[in-house]
Amino acid sequence: MADIISTREAYGRALSKYGEREDILVFDADLTICTMSCYFAEKYPGRFFNAGIAEANMIGMSAGAATTGKIAFCHTFAMFAAGRGYDQIRNSIAYPKLNVKIVGTHAGLSVGEDGATHQCIEDLSLMRTIPNMTVICPCDANETEEAVKAMIAYNGPCYLRLGRSGVESITNYFPKYKFILGKGVLLKEGTDVSIIAAGQMVQAALRAADILEKKGIEAMVINIHTLKPLDKEIILMAAKKTGAIVTSEEHNIIGGLGAAVAEAVTLEYPVPVIRHGVEDVFGHSGKAEELMEKYGLTAENLARKAEIAIQMKG
């Protein structure tokens, strides 16, 4: 049985593991235990700074550190990073293209009982529209660790989206899996429909493919861990091979992965694209798994949308 671990937990351990470089500075907005930056703080207290409940100030501090040649990691909930800190991220980090990594944890509906005010389903949309920003949404613990290594090696602004709930570790079971910024990963071949997913919906996509296979439908499954820059090559390959696409994300269907994929195929190889995600509504307070069910973010619903996409093929 695969390990169950949250991407935020995997992130905290990875940052501590790879944070020995003296040019890495870490900032947090008084959420160290929640964001898991506490692991780094315990190991390297001299390079850790708690800015308090002042997200905009923290982002400004990170930008200042980056101007001196440091690699700055700053942490808070996705709602506070993408929402409250948007202005500072856009103008103080992305505009001058500084080497700051914004880490937004507790993203999506699976925050659960924290409710609609904390369930950030707009962050991918907000971040991918900012020039110079790299946007990453890992699906499991292994991919999160690989993302941390890649962000440290990459010189420029990044937004990393992490979740609160434990998720099944899957990528380490694929022998050909390799994490490269801006490159999607083909997890399963298929000829009838393509399921393109991000974050924990990658696991749902694989389960949906199993459901479809029992009906004689061969679904291709692609993991898009980097929404920007988007791997148009793998998306166009999927469009040409299967003729229909379903995207899946724990995010508003407006502006996120679904929109990015639709934009990619519209000009170069138009095929039906059905977006599976939060249907442009706010969330509610409740247990994570119950919310995912309520809003249709399940493998079963994804499989149904794949069948609809197949019917739409010319």
From first to last of its 314 residues, the chain has per-residue pLDDT tens of: 578 999 999 999 999 999 999 999 999 999 999 999 999 999 999 999 999 999 999 999 999 999 999 999 999 999 999 999 999 999 999 999 999 999 999 999 988 898 999 999 999 999 999 999 999 999 999 999 999 999 999 999 999 999 999 999 999 999 889 999 999 999 999 999 999 999 999 999 999 999 999 999 999 999 999 999 999 999 999 999 999 999 999 999 999 999 999 999 998 999 999 999 999 999 999 999 999 999 999 999 999 999 999 999 87
Residue 140 included in any domain: yes
In sequence order, the 6+-apart residues with CB closer than 8 A to the CB of 274 are 244, 245, 246, 247, 305, 306, 308, 309, 312
Total length of the chain = 314
Q: How many domains does the chain contain in total?
A: 2
State whether 161 and 283 are in the same domain: no
Do 217 and 113 reside in the same domain of the chain? no
Considering the domain architecture, whether residues 138 and 213 belong to the same structural domain is answered as: no
**Residue after which a domain boundary falls, among 168, 203, 236:** 168
Q: Strand 48-50 vs strand 24-28: parallel, antiparallel, or unpaired?
A: parallel
Q: Is residue 177 part of a domain?
A: no
Say what the pLDDT of residue 1 is. Answer: 53
In terms of domains, do 50 and 100 share one?
yes
Identify whether residues 21 and 120 lie together within a single domain.
Answer: yes
Residue 164 located in a structural domain: yes
In angstroms, what is the C-alpha Rg of the chain? 19
Q: Is residue 173 part of a domain?
A: no
Last residue of a domain, one of 168, 196, 218: 168
- Do residues 126 and 154 share a domain? yes
Residues 133 and 192 in one domain: no
CATH number, domain of 240, equals 3.40.50.920
Residues 8 and 148 in one domain: yes
Judge whether 233 counts as a catalytic residue: no
Q: Is residue 237 part of a domain?
A: yes
* Structural domain contains residue 268: yes
Structural domain includes residue 160:
yes
* Same domain as 277, residue 211: yes
pLDDT number for residue 176: 87
Residue 174 lies in a domain: no
Q: Tell which residue, 250, 197, 251, has the closest CA to residue 220.
A: 197
Which of left, alpha, beta for 238 (phi over 0: left; psi -120 to 50: alpha)? alpha
Residue 109 lies in domain: 4-168
**110 and 194 fall within a common domain:** no
43 and 147 assigned to the same domain = yes
| Catalytic member of 20, 22, 42, 55 | 55
Distances (CA, A) of 114 to 109, 195, 284: 9, 30, 8
**CATH label of the domain that carries residue 20:** 3.40.50.970
Looking at 141, 168, 195, which one is the last position of a domain?
168
Q: Do 158 and 27 share a structural domain?
A: yes
